[in-house]
Amino acid sequence: MNISTRRKSKSKSKSSSNSIFAKETFKELNVAKIQKFLKSNLIVNRYTLDNRVSYLNYIKNKLINISPNDCLEEKMFGTNKGFTIKNIINLEKIIGSDGYNGKIYRTSIINSFGTFPIATKIMENNTENNYEVALMDYITNDIIINKRSKHFPIMYKSCLCERKDYPKKETLICVNEIANGDLTTLLNNHIIMNDKNILLNILFQTFISIGTFHNYLNHIHNDCHGGNFLWNYNNEKGYYHYIFNKKDYYLKACGYNIMIYDYGYSNIIKSKRSIVQLSSDYAMSVPVFLNEEIGLDSKGSADPPEDIIDELNEIIQLLMKKRKVLASKYNMASSSPKSKSNPINNKKELFEYIIENIFNVYSPTDMFISTYRPNKVINKLPFYIDK
């Protein structure tokens, strides 16, 4: 992955971001077979990883004539002013409010079936945005297509318009799948917040997505508020098989799949400061489960019961405790040239600590399994939290 560290110049926002919401190929199938498949399978189980990958390959075939340097052209869709790329990708209507780093449009692909909603983000061509698109491209082509994780959204296509007369803020184009919503809005739900099994399952998935970002991608996210975790509905039953540090783990499926998103502040794990940031990624994601995110208006919001609040606060304290241990260990060892302590080792040690002290301790009965293989395992290929 040809991605390098860079410094951010823009300021962070703690509010929900403009999130992207809602090797099988279809090229040899005729239209009738495609329609039958979409109606019988994708409609009901559209968000399984297998079907997401199938639809990715289907859309990639539809976009085969789109070049990496294609530009947007203005186009009207009824009374809505939008854009098109070669009348193949149609950006029909702006959705959400303008973000600090781009606009998002509801999108259609010509002659394709709209089982999965699609959105296009148009951005300025700068170092930060190009880095994020490169990371999304790597995630899609290395992780998603190879079915190594279900905890990331898919990027279908990206283009970089190189025309000098083109508006600077509309030169980088990124076509993505849409999720059903973000974590902040999902957890403002009294049913979920009062169901310990669902709430902790979502928390564990959030930690797994962060752990995969750390250990598989070797990146710190550095902006893990609720708006940067997306969710899709999930109908699968049984357990998902994960591998971390050559050990097998199993997490029971629930009605929601969590995905980590918005990598605009991410950095490669390589510095002394990474130790604090590693723990902070996990700790920063917990307040949304308490409806205590900075800037979040909790009036009328769904709050968890007292016993769940106590456990979530204990989890935060455990993360802070481990951060101090790792920081002290690294600082003491850094003066010795023979020391093997480094951020790469710490990211793995931290997730092992989370498994032993959070997943194994706070998991409701049989939700997280680390000692045996359950009867019904959903994914034939295990998901990898590290390489």
Q: Which domains does the chain have, with CATH numbers?
A: 31-178 (3.30.200.20), 182-384 (1.10.510)
Which is more confidently placed, 97 or 369?
369
Residue 114 has pLDDT above 90, yes or no: no
Q: What is the rounded (10 degree) CA torsion for 76, 81, 85, 86?
A: 10
Residue 338 has pLDDT above 60, yes or no: no
- Condensed to tens digits (0 to 9), the pLDDT of residues 285-305 reads 999 999 876 444 455 567 889
Please, is 73 exposed, middle or buried when counting C-beta atoms within 10 Å of its C-beta (0-12, 13-18, 19+)? Answer: exposed
Residue 309 has pLDDT above 70, yes or no: yes
Residue 187 has pLDDT above 70, yes or no: yes
Report the pLDDT value the prediction gives residue 339, as an integer from 0 to 100. Answer: 46
pTM for the full predicted model: 0.87
Report the pLDDT value the prediction gives residue 248, as an integer from 0 to 100. Answer: 98
Q: State the CB neighbour count (10 A cutoff) for residue 41.
A: 15
Residue 25 has pLDDT above 50, yes or no: no
Q: In this structure, which long-range contacts are made by residues 340-346, counting pairs with CB atoms below 8 Å and at least 24 apart in sequence?
A: 343/269, 343/270, 343/271, 343/272, 343/274, 343/275, 343/278, 344/218, 344/269, 344/270, 346/274, 346/275, 346/278
Report the pLDDT value the prediction gives residue 14, as an integer from 0 to 100. Answer: 45
- Write the DSSP symbol of residue 7: -
Give the chain's mean pLDDT: 86
- Condensed to tens digits (0 to 9), the pLDDT of residues 235-275 reads 999 999 999 999 999 999 999 999 999 998 999 998 766 77
Report the pLDDT value the prediction gives residue 277, as an integer from 0 to 100. Answer: 87
Q: State residue 302 phi and psi, 5-degree precision.
A: -85, 120
Residue 342 has pLDDT above 90, yes or no: no
Report the pLDDT value the prediction gives residue 97, as an integer from 0 to 100. Answer: 58
Residue 24 has pLDDT above 80, yes or no: no
Q: Which of 2-16, 228-242, 339-353, 361-375 has the lowest mean pLDDT?
A: 2-16
Report the pLDDT value the prediction gives residue 166, as an integer from 0 to 100. Answer: 86
